[in-house]
């Protein structure tokens, strides 16, 4: 697939006072990740995470000259319009606000009581925050988070700084309190974007978004009554059961591309729905359902599961628009062990390596500990680049 658009000079409002040229790297990447033909199909895992990262970095660029971390509403309206116009001029889908549920208020973080750099740095342990988020490990952060809790802690600190502004409604657990902490996380993201390079900040935000999106199934799984009816006694009526199952999954797989981890979540959730409705047999095994069957298909059989790690849409004159698919897509879909949908743990457990050897001369171990070393075993996937 090759782009069928021609770039042009966007018409800007003239009311957003920021140097967009300094943001060309992140803007170009976002336009590519949200390109016109693919944005709706990769919105959940590529386009929207990248747009959110751009918003964080833009907030920092806008505020760096005046000591603020957010925009006022008038500036946010103008700048949001300009950002969308520039992205569209570079081939991005014009429906990004709807696809990603974005609005100008995303640039204001209005309910957070701390909005300037000076106040932020007086309240937050900034050295701790920078240490935690300056280099986010994509293999470890989702399983043994370091940056995420540091951001939440900082957001809690600055949100409590405005406790007198929202009174009892800001008590932990209240709707207002949760909204304020959420806005304050946006302020923390803006501050981090000021302290890190655009590349470092974007990499960190993409990893953090990946941790979030890979925990859920993004597909709309409607009531599977035809499958339940055909498969309650699957072992005695496999053809009709498999026909109903493939028909149901075939309709859902037309929605979007999903990652390998999202496919596992979707398979588990759908299997639990079937079990609760009375389907006892492993019909995934009976009907040869693979994880790739839960993602968008090309030519009927070539399912593409995106990587769980952040990926981008690439373009060159030879291959056209391309992105990286996962080579584990022929793995059989897992049938859940029970009908109760529980939070899946897709992280390998920590293992304890043997204690270091004891020196025969000193009688002590060569090191400071004999209890072993905790090691995180990441999930590793083979990948390939596919052009469409």
Using alpha carbons only, give the angle 163, 118, 131 rounded to the nearest 5 degrees: 95
pLDDT digits (tens, 9 = 90+) for 111-142: 899 999 999 999 999 999 999 999 999 989 99
Q: What is the pTM of this model?
A: 0.84
What pLDDT is stored for residue 364 in this prediction?
Answer: 40
Q: What is the DSSP string of 62-125?
A: HHTTTTBSS--HHHHHHHHHHHHHHHHHTTB-TTHHHHTT--GGGGT-TT-S--BHHHHHHHS-
Q: What is the DSSP string of 291-337?
A: GGGGS-EETTTEE-EEPSS----EEETTTEEEEEEETTTTSBPPPPS
What pLDDT is stored for residue 6 in this prediction?
Answer: 74
What pLDDT is stored for residue 380 in this prediction?
Answer: 40
Q: Point out which residues pair with 314 in neighbouring strands.
A: 322
Q: List the chain residues with pLDDT less than 70.
A: 1-5, 162-177, 234-236, 298-301, 327-329, 339-346, 348-388
């Amino acid at each position: 697939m090759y782009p069928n658009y021609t770039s042009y000079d966007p018409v800007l409002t003239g009311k957003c006072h920021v140097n967009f040229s300094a943001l060309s790297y992140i803007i170009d990447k976002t336009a590519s990740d949200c390109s016109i033909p693919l944005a709706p199909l990769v919105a959940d895992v590529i386009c929207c995470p990248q747009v959110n990262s751009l918003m964080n970095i833009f907030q920092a660029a806008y505020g760096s000259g005046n000591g603020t971390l957010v925009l006022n509403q008038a500036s946010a309206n103008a700048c949001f319009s300009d950002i969308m116009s520039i992205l569209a001029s570079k081939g991005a889908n014009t429906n990004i606000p709807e696809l990603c549920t974005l609005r100008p208020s995303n640039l204001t973080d209005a309910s957070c009581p701390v909005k300037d750099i000076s106040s932020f740095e007086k309240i937050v342990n900034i050295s701790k925050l920078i240490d935690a988020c300056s280099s986010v490990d994509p293999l470890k952060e989702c399983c043994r988070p370091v940056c995420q809790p540091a951001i939440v802690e900082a957001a809690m600190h600055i949100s409590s700084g405005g406790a007198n502004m929202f009174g009892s409604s800001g008590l932990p657990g209240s709707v207002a309190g949760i909204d304020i902490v959420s806005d304050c996380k946006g302020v923390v993201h803006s501050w981090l974007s000021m302290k890190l390079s655009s590349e470092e900040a974007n990499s960190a935000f993409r990893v953090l978004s990946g941790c979030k999106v890979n925990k859920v199934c993004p597909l709309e799984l409607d009531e599977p009554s035809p499958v339940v009816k055909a498969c309650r006694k699957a072992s005695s009526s496999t053809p009709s059961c498999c026909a109903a199952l493939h028909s149901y999954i075939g309709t859902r797989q037309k929605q979007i591309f999903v990652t390998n981890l999202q496919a596992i979540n979707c398979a588990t959730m759908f299997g639990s729905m079937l079990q609760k409705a009375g389907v006892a047999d492993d019909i995934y095994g009976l009907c040869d359902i693979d994880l790739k069957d839960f993602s968008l298909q090309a030519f009927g059989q070539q399912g593409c599961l995106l990587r769980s790690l952040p990926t981008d849409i690439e373009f060159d004159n030879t291959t056209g628009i391309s992105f990286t698919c996962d080579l584990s897509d022929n793995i059989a879909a897992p049938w859940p062990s029970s009908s109760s949908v529980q939070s899946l743990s897709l992280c390998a457990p920590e293992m304890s390596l043997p204690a270091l050897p004891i020196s025969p001369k000193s009688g002590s171990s060569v090191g400071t500990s004999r209890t072993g070393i905790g090691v995180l075993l990441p999930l590793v996937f083979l990948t390939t680049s596919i052009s469409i």
